[in-house]
Amino acid sequence: MNDKIRACLENVRKPARYTGGEYNAVYKEKNKVDLRFAFCFPDIYEIGMSHLGSKILYGLLNEMEGVWCERAYAPFLDMEAEMRKRGQPLYALESGDPVGDFDILGFTLQYEMNYTGVLNILDLAGVPLYSHQRTSLSPLVVAGGPCVYNAEPVADFFDIIMIGEGEEMWPELIALYRRAKREKMDKSAFLREAASIGGIYVPSLYDVTYRGNGTVAAITPRESAPPVVMKRVVKDLDKAYYPDKFIVPSTEIVFDRAMVELFRGCRRGCRFCQAGYTYRPIRAKRPETLEKQAKALIASTGWDEVSLTSLSSSDYPHLESLCECLVDYFEPMHVSLALPSLRADSFNLALVENVQKVRKSGLTFAPEAGTQRLRDVINKNLREEDLLEACKVAFAAGYNGVKLYFMMGLPTETDADLLGISQIVRHVIATFREHGKNKARGVRINVGISIFVPKAQTPFQWLGQIGAQEAERRKQFLMESLKIKNVTYSIHNYQTSFLEAVFARGDRRLAPVLERAWRLGCRLDGWDENFDFDAWMQAFSDCGVDPAFYANRELGADELLPWDHISSGVTKRYLFSELERAKQGIATPDCKFACRNCGALRLTGGGKCDV
């Protein structure tokens, strides 16, 4: 660590974010590697260190001979100020070397409000923001993550965008890059070859034109780039790389525990959920694989909790037997299991009680909407009776609290649907009063309400978000209806959700807006204390861009969408058929009962989903 970094750390609130030296971090001799990779997470350490995909990529790349993957996270405002004051460039935590000196900078795009974080990291590293400004092969700036299914607002900043699961693509891209270095290939030749790798999107090889009304006229590939970039997936998760050790953080992080991934994909088909469509098809790991991975991680890290993760953990077919085996093994070690993403319609008290023998946690359910009519519209195949039955069983067993998550602004939503939220809450309270084991302690209901954001590659991608005035009216309506004893609630900030919608459905004309907002001081926009909506509105105004065009407008059925050259595997025709069913209030049964022929199975060569 150099003197400048030490001086910076003396004046920041959480220096442990920036010191490195964590247990299980990987260190290599520089003269024995020929490719240096900086994994850049555009949010702070506590968020980035909690991200499972980052852990997988870090381990995968460091297993490669001659490759050293290091980490860099977005500094918080205090650290950024100290670095800029002292002329200290962004550095990698392992070596302390400037990130701008690395061969490849890899970013994960987890959330649209992290986009200014990408620009800030590039600038702190001394790397030009735009791909066309970086004429040499190094550093190559690459993106992956869930936002790539419409990465057009940030496409001009990246040389390569990886569509799908990185375990499949990184070995091929790394091999090509090493050959390019040996052969002294120029950047343009390298990018042309990279575009031939499945799942690799090279934005500079696509020309986008627009109509007079602002919609996309054409997306034209050049130099043999594919007309549509198809997502890459891992076909067999049991054979896929998974690390047997995670870096143990030096300070508290959001998810401070070991994680094993039950399966990828989701059979439910909620029409608002981007992950539910873009992670298809469903692929599950065998129980013995999961047992081995969980045991290895606890042995190598010393954590006292293992989380069994997926989009819907209770849908894993071997969950009960897996949990029994893990509890028997871990309970004597005082290691607990966590089961996030449980559904009320498959709530199993015996399973939950068994899992929570070491550490008892609260219960969380997500009805999403207040009435059955609206749950059918969004395809949330959950009945209120299922929710109340789950609460009844839990309350009778001694639980006295539950968290409930809903959304506001869903398509076709009415005041009656909003009122249904408070009615459900009252019914849950009544259930506690009738069946609660610990009535003397009282019941506690926590209600979280987010704002609906239309996302690319979902059936609701064509629909607009409600406007600010209507959002405020609905918020006030909800707040009044939720003035109930023993109930606390929080409603997400509309302004943040509005910007999320803008960039979720945006196109390349938003890149100058992002740059302007960043230059106006916008960064770490997902943090309320840093969010400056006025600065964002000034950026849109300065660039002559109307954000409502992207967030609030309903898109035409035949309109060419900015992301139509990117495929998640689920066909556009299927998504539109689900939109039509939503408008009619018709729910679609989940994939367990029959294949819906969405198109995703072609990515694994046919067959059937695992769950």
Q: What average pLDDT values come out for the chain (611 residues) when binned by 10 residues?
A: 91 95 96 97 97 96 98 97 96 97 98 97 98 97 97 98 95 97 96 97 98 97 95 96 96 93 94 96 96 97 94 90 93 89 79 72 89 97 93 89 96 98 97 89 94 98 98 97 96 96 98 98 93 98 98 96 98 97 95 89 82 63
pLDDT at position 606, please? 74
Q: Is residue 155 part of a domain?
A: yes
Q: Is residue 204 part of a domain?
A: yes
User: Looking at the structure, do residues 147 and 220 belong to the same domain, yes or no?
Assistant: yes
The vertex-269 CA angle with 264 and 275, nearest 5°, equals: 45
Relative to beta strand 229-230, strand 216-221 is unpaired
Two tokens, residue 493: 């900030």
Given CA atoms 457, 460, 463, 464 in this order, what sign does their dihedral have?
negative
Cβ atoms of 55 and 20 within 8 Å: the answer is no
Domain of 598, CATH number, reads 3.30.750.210
d(CA 36, CA 53): 19
pLDDT at position 611, please? 63
User: Looking at the structure, do residues 38 and 122 belong to the same domain, yes or no?
Assistant: yes
- Look at residues 166, 196, 230 and tell me which one is the last residue of a structural domain: 230
Q: Is residue 441 part of a domain?
A: no
d(CA 546, CA 540): 7
d(CA 323, CA 328): 8
Which residues lie below 8 Å from residue 577, measured CB to CB, with a gap of 6+?
Answer: none
**pLDDT tens digit string along 103-120?**
999 999 999 999 999 999
Torsion of CA 46, 504, 205, 210, to 10 degrees: -150
User: Looking at the structure, do residues 159 and 224 belong to the same domain, yes or no?
Assistant: yes
First to last CA, the chain: 49
> What total of structural domains would you count in the chain?
2
d(CA 554, CA 520): 30
Cβ atoms of 474 and 409 within 8 Å: the answer is yes
User: Looking at the structure, do residues 170 and 260 belong to the same domain, yes or no?
Assistant: no
Domain of 62, CATH number, reads 3.40.50.2300
Q: Is residue 540 part of a domain?
A: no
User: Looking at the structure, do residues 260 and 214 belong to the same domain, yes or no?
Assistant: no
Q: Is residue 396 part of a domain?
A: no
**Other Cβ atoms within 10 Å of 15 Cβ, number:** 17
Residue 283: strand pairing partners? 264
pLDDT at position 594, please? 86
User: Looking at the structure, do residues 211 and 261 belong to the same domain, yes or no?
Assistant: no
d(CA 244, CA 292): 9
Two tokens, residue 46: 């506590």
User: Looking at the structure, do residues 102 and 251 belong to the same domain, yes or no?
Assistant: no
User: Looking at the structure, do residues 64 and 206 belong to the same domain, yes or no?
Assistant: yes
pLDDT at position 359, please? 65
- Look at residues 183, 213, 230 and tell me which one is the last residue of a structural domain: 230
User: Looking at the structure, do residues 112 and 218 belong to the same domain, yes or no?
Assistant: yes
Cβ atoms of 17 and 76 within 8 Å: the answer is yes
Q: Is residue 110 part of a domain?
A: yes
User: Looking at the structure, do residues 199 and 316 belong to the same domain, yes or no?
Assistant: no
Two tokens, residue 107: 């970013």
- Look at residues 176, 198, 230 and tell me which one is the last residue of a structural domain: 230
d(CA 60, CA 76): 28
Q: Is residue 149 part of a domain?
A: yes
C-alpha closest to that of 37 among 131, 173, 145:
173
pLDDT at position 341, please? 74
- What is the model's pTM? 0.95
Q: Is residue 455 part of a domain?
A: no
Two tokens, residue 324: 């029994």
User: Looking at the structure, do residues 101 and 169 belong to the same domain, yes or no?
Assistant: yes
User: Looking at the structure, do residues 136 and 251 belong to the same domain, yes or no?
Assistant: no
Cβ atoms of 570 and 280 within 8 Å: the answer is yes
Q: Any idea what DSSP says for residue 232?
A: B
- Domain residues for the domain of 284 are 235-361+567-611
